Structure 1
Amino acid sequence: MLSRFNSFFDRPSTIHLLVTGYVVAAVLQGLAFSALIGFLRALLGPDPGQAWGPMWLLVGFGAAAFLIQAATLIRANKVSAYDVCGNAVARIGSHVVRLPLGWFDSGSVGRVSSAISTETDNLSHLTPIVLPQFISGIVTPLTVLVVTLCYEWRLGLIMLLVVPVVALLWNWASRLLMAEHRRAPAIAARTASVAIEHAHLQPVLRAQGISGTAWRPLAEALSDENDEMNAIMAAQGRPTIAFGLLAQAFFAAVLAAGLGIVLGGGLDAAAFVAIGVMAARFTTPISQSIFYAAALQQDMVSLDAIEQIVEAPTLPEPASPGHPAGTDIRLDDVTFGYTTGDTLFEQLSLQAAEGRITALVGPSGCGKSTVTKLIARFWDVGSGRITVGGVDVRNMDSAELMDMVSMVFQDVYLFDTTIAENVRISRPGATDEELAEAIARAGLEPVIAALPDGLDTRVGEGGLRLSGGERQRVSIARAFLKDAPILLLDEITSALDAENESAITQALAELAAGRTVVVIAHRLSTIMAADHVYVLSGRERGIPTRIVEHGSPAELAAGDGMFAELVQDFSQTARWSVR
């Protein structure tokens, strides 16, 4: 079981060396208590001077146990800080950056946050706290049992009888606790996700007069976590009471039987006192061991939660990656679904020509955003293929594909740093002149001019200090600065006013020269600026999305299909006025 933790140590033998040190220390501790028999017999005998030898034996066993335990604990604390915590965080971090982008959703944020904080913290207690107490609680009583059997087999037999009872209680407690502990990480991850979302939504919630835990999702998450903690405490409490009662009953039985043997002349009083002390040392660890058994099981559950992240499958990388000969994008007979049995696309085919703007139009939920994310290889398709420049994206190096693509999606996340740094993240080596040009083309100059520190203004976590439109303009500036040959734009004008929408539309026309642009927009001005439009059907009664019609905006507007109806609806809306 402990071998599962080997991957968190710099040397796989570390955990076994620590366990060996704790076992040796626990045996010596048991022998030290056992040496009390000879010491007390000599001390209370006719010649107390004979007690020096047994006393030095007792001191020697105790000192050796202390030194070995101390040395092992020093090593364990170092291992806990540098190996377990450091390697756990490093493994999570190095694996997360290689996971497919489709793995990341609102739930994954909570899972990663919980794994790095709560689960890693649980594992940090394994070597310096849980293991020594757990091993001592088993090995020391067993050593005492063996010595007692040698000195007085009848009292040793009473101790031996408790072993199968303890084993049965252990089995019952383990199943009870494991069932509760396995639910805890998922609940903790959900609470972390909701708490992060709650922080991001503070402007909206406060505008609605919602504060504290009045937001229902947060209140429910905290309530669920509280209920789970209560369930864990209840599950831990029942075995603890049972172990305590067993220990007390066993101790009373040993004392009663020992007293009877002493009165019968079969055991001297000194040996009886010593065995009484040993019996107490036998029962106390047993009654306390359930706490550390629960902690060990919690560590195993924490390890499971971390392994679910570090063992999540990454997208396979080709041994010999291909290199695109251009930026033409094709989807050939693509079938894809987020879950098994729920097909979003079935044999979907389309082409985004190099140097042209291709628009995707269709009702909400039909999969327009999914098309752009499949092009960027957030996920792999179920069947069919997606090619860039004639090369299947699965046969491209992921880093090369990402270098070729700039993305502006609906949900824009900004880092808690300056606007300049948030834009530069797309190309850290860009010059100040290139940064200024990208900012101007994205329409960010008026926004920056109104901020107290201009480009050096910190935007807050997630960009909370900026409006939705301002955050999206930062994202657009990133795309302009990166200057990638492929642009994937999802609802690019959804948060811009009419003036900036016009400016961005003109910039897109300029940016499209020599580039492949795939744009999703519900505004007619953006759609009509495209060279080619694909109209996707809505999903009804589980029927996969399909392409209803495609062609130039002018051709489709002159027809009698869905696009013509869309244009007519836009025209009617444009004539509305408020009097």
Structure 2
Amino acid sequence: MVSDPPGMTRATAISVVSGVLEGLALAALLPAISALATDDTWWGLGTGGWIIVLAVLAVLSFACNAVKERWNYAVALDFLKSIHRLVGDQVARQPLGWFSRPLAGKLSRMVSSELMNTGSIFAHMMGPLVAKLATATVLVVVAWFWDPLLGLVLTVSVPLFVLITVGAASLIRRGGRIHEPDEVVLADRIVEYAQCQGTLRSCGRSEDFAPLIDAMENARASKKRALWSETSGLMLSGVVSQGVIVVLITVTGSLAVAGTLAPIPAMAFIGLSLQFTSTLTAIAEGVMGLETRRPMLDSIDEVLTAEPLPEPGTPAELTAPGEVELRGVTFSYGGAGDVPVLRDLSLEVPAGSMVALVGPSGSGKTTVEKLISRFYDADAGEVLVGGVPVTDQTTEQLMAQLSMVFQDVYLFDDSLEANIAVGREGATGEEIRHAAELAGVTGIAERLPEGWETQVGEGGKALSGGERQRVAIARALVKQAPIVLLDEATSALDVENEAHVVASVEALRETATVLVIAHRLDTIAKADLIVLLTDDGRVEGYGTHDELMAAGGTYTRFWNRLHHAQGWRLVDR
């Protein structure tokens, strides 16, 4: 996950050298103290010689630590840069349906605070942990030279310490599994609460949003439960460290009393033992720190290992440009075992035609358009665009054929003109203004304080829902894609601008194939073909308006109800 593996190797190597130097410096205290107390030579050097050795080791250790910190920070920054790039690339390769999952809170945490905390693994944990391991190894080796029995005690304490540390880490990991899911839910609820302020305030519920309150309570409760497990792990690790200290002091004292070890060297070794257990404690803290960051690494791994929809390496040759066809399509959002939204659905949209999808809510109209744009893959059957199955086309090739105007329009935090221009790179100002005129965006620009250069805000919050959709229609006009998928949501468009919508649809059908989820009488009546869906996702019938009206049945009842509803007027009495 780093772009410079040699840099990581260098950082690890310098950490090892730093740990070895620290271990040698601590080990040198044994003969240095003994030489100072006895005024004799130890291991060939007197007091002055050992002071020089300690001074040299101190200088080398200082220089090595400075380099270690620099190189470990470089690795951490490289890791952050690489992860941002990898996550961005992976997200860009996911099918559009992947983003319908509750990912907003999770992704925002991942690429902000969690990612910074993960980067601290390299900056503050890995290097020190490697250094402390090297220090402990040097101390064990020196202890064997100093006194084999003491070396044996230190050696035996290491596997015991490892076993206890593994157990403590397991308890901390268990604590993470307890509270992490509820924290993810809490993050999602916070994002939801912020995004739905308009609805909540209109209902007088902005101060008592139950889902957020429940999520906060669940997160607090799970955090308390997790705290018991994590605290137990830390206490277990601490008890073992203190136990090792007691054993080492007891053994050293026993040797001194028995006369096997002189008092001064025994005191020096006790000091070394304290440093050894301090080193083991630092190692345990490093391992615990890594465990607390495991959920972050797991969440990053979940994104990086998410499987995108398979696609070929090269574009396919389109045999019927502008055509759309579904052949026996069955699909459910929960997978093949769930209740299907579409059942054995087949329909053809000839090139250059306008086909209207009509049917009750939940009949799968929007799902049809999402399958065409490959938000998901069908469980059975085939979806063809341009005469070729969408599964045989690259994402770029498929998207180049489609313009999508759905109900959930998103505008970028940029100018009004830039949001239209995003439809096609290189579009001229004249093309942008012409599309804007057809879609009714010119009137929007005229009322905004800075006209075309007005910033529309994140998501287009400076505009109404109907205005955002008109901007999206202008994008489709600018893109000039051969196929347009349109969800004509009446809730987002007022009567005053209905003429602009009708003009936009007429302009689109002159140059493109239009598949529209139709709600307006004019759009339905003018369609070349109307496909009527049942509430269980089947095709009940299709034909022109006159043909379906002549046949009677469901379409006639649907048309009459819609005509009656759209004939309502508000009057004064």
Calculate the TM-score normalised by the size of structure 1.
Answer: 0.91
Partners of 2:480 and 2:39 lie apart in 1 by 97
Q: Which residue pairs with 1:12 in the alignment?
A: 5
Q: Which residue pairs with 1:293 in the alignment?
A: 287
Q: Which residue pairs with 1:22 in the alignment?
A: 15
Letter in 2 for 1:53: G
Alignment pair present for 1:302 and 2:296:
yes
Pick closer, same or farther for the CA change 1:188–1:86 going to 2, 3 Å: farther
Partners of 1:176 and 1:247 lie apart in 2 by 17
Pick closer, same or farther for the CA change 1:359–1:496 going to 2, 3 Å: same
What SS does the corresponding residue of 1:459 show, helix, strand or coil? Answer: coil
Alignment pair present for 1:79 and 2:69:
no
Residue in structure 1 matching 2:118, options 119, 123, 127: 123
Q: Which residue pairs with 1:467 in the alignment?
A: 464
Pick closer, same or farther for the CA change 1:232–1:84 going to 2, 3 Å: farther
Residue in structure 1 matching 2:96, options 101, 108, 119: 101
Residue in structure 1 matching 2:403, options 402, 406, 412: 406
Partners of 2:238 and 2:62 lie apart in 1 by 27
Q: Which residue pairs with 1:111 in the alignment?
A: 106
The count of residues paired between Structure 1 and Structure 2 equals 565
CA deviation profile, 1:341-399 (whole Å, cap 9, x unmatched) = 02332321101122211111122222111111111122222332222232222222321
Partners of 1:302 and 1:252 lie apart in 2 by 37
Displacement after TM superposition at 1:300 (Å): 4.0
Pick closer, same or farther for the CA change 1:538–1:493 going to 2, 3 Å: same
What SS does the corresponding residue of 1:517 show, helix, strand or coil? Answer: strand
Pick closer, same or farther for the CA change 1:386–1:487 going to 2, 3 Å: same
Letter in 1 for 2:47: A
Residue in structure 2 matching 1:207, options 195, 202, 205: 202
Q: Which residue pairs with 1:50 in the alignment?
A: 46
Pick closer, same or farther for the CA change 1:256–1:398 going to 2, 3 Å: closer
Displacement after TM superposition at 1:250 (Å): 2.6
Pick closer, same or farther for the CA change 1:418–1:234 going to 2, 3 Å: farther
Partners of 2:491 and 2:568 lie apart in 1 by 19
Q: Is the 8 A contact 2:489 2:519 kept in 1?
A: no
Q: How does 1:419-458 map to 2 (within 5 A)?
A: 419-458=416-455
Pick closer, same or farther for the CA change 1:460–1:219 going to 2, 3 Å: farther
Residue in structure 1 matching 2:305, options 302, 311, 319: 311
Q: Is the 8 A contact 1:32 1:59 kept in 2?
A: no
Letter in 1 for 2:494: D
Partners of 1:138 and 1:30 lie apart in 2 by 10
Q: How does 1:173-322 map to 2 (within 5 A)?
A: 173-182=168-177, 186-211=181-206, 214-322=208-316
Q: How does 1:31-70 map to 2 (within 5 A)?
A: 31-47=24-40, 50-70=46-66
Residue in structure 2 matching 1:142, options 112, 124, 137: 137
Residue in structure 2 matching 1:571, options 556, 563, 572: 563
Q: Is the 8 A contact 1:336 1:381 kept in 2?
A: yes
Pick closer, same or farther for the CA change 1:156–1:320 going to 2, 3 Å: closer
Q: Is the 8 A contact 1:485 1:515 kept in 2?
A: yes
The 10-residue stretch of structure 1 (406-415 or 182-191) with the greater mean CA deviation from structure 2? 182-191
Q: Is the 8 A contact 2:542 2:548 kept in 1?
A: yes
What SS does the corresponding residue of 1:104 show, helix, strand or coil? Answer: helix
Partners of 1:58 and 1:398 lie apart in 2 by 65
CA deviation profile, 1:167-211 (whole Å, cap 9, x unmatched) = 331221222222333566654544443333333223333333444
What SS does the corresponding residue of 2:347 show, helix, strand or coil? Answer: strand
Q: Is the 8 A contact 2:404 2:484 kept in 1?
A: yes
Alignment pair present for 1:557 and 2:554:
no
Partners of 1:162 and 1:239 lie apart in 2 by 18
Letter in 1 for 2:553: G
Q: Which residue pairs with 2:355 in the alignment?
A: 358
Q: Is the 8 A contact 2:18 2:65 kept in 1?
A: yes
Q: Is the 8 A contact 1:114 1:185 kept in 2?
A: no
Pick closer, same or farther for the CA change 1:131–1:550 going to 2, 3 Å: same
CA deviation profile, 1:443-492 (whole Å, cap 9, x unmatched) = 12232222222222222221222221121111112112212221101134
Pick closer, same or farther for the CA change 1:184–1:298 going to 2, 3 Å: same
Pick closer, same or farther for the CA change 1:576–1:504 going to 2, 3 Å: closer
Pick closer, same or farther for the CA change 1:151–1:576 going to 2, 3 Å: same
What SS does the corresponding residue of 1:550 show, helix, strand or coil? Answer: strand
What SS does the corresponding residue of 1:494 show, helix, strand or coil? Answer: helix
Q: How does 1:517-528 map to 2 (within 5 A)?
A: 517-528=514-525
Alignment pair present for 1:348 and 2:345:
yes
Letter in 2 for 1:553: H
Partners of 2:123 and 2:27 lie apart in 1 by 26
Which residues of structure 2 form unaligned runs of 5+?
none
What SS does the corresponding residue of 1:88 show, helix, strand or coil? Answer: helix
Partners of 1:208 and 1:291 lie apart in 2 by 50
Q: Is the 8 A contact 1:185 1:305 kept in 2?
A: no
Task: Name the Cα RMSD after superposition.
Answer: 2.4
Partners of 2:282 and 2:514 lie apart in 1 by 66
Q: Is the 8 A contact 2:39 2:46 kept in 1?
A: no
Q: Which residue pairs with 1:4 in the alignment?
A: none
Q: Is the 8 A contact 2:68 2:127 kept in 1?
A: no
Displacement after TM superposition at 1:232 (Å): 4.5
Calculate the TM-score normalised by the size of structure 2.
Answer: 0.92
Q: Which residue pairs with 2:326 in the alignment?
A: 331
Q: Is the 8 A contact 2:175 2:227 kept in 1?
A: no
Pick closer, same or farther for the CA change 1:193–1:458 going to 2, 3 Å: farther
What is the identity percentage for the equivalent residue pairs of Structure 1 and Structure 2?
A: 34
Pick closer, same or farther for the CA change 1:379–1:13 going to 2, 3 Å: same
Displacement after TM superposition at 1:532 (Å): 0.9
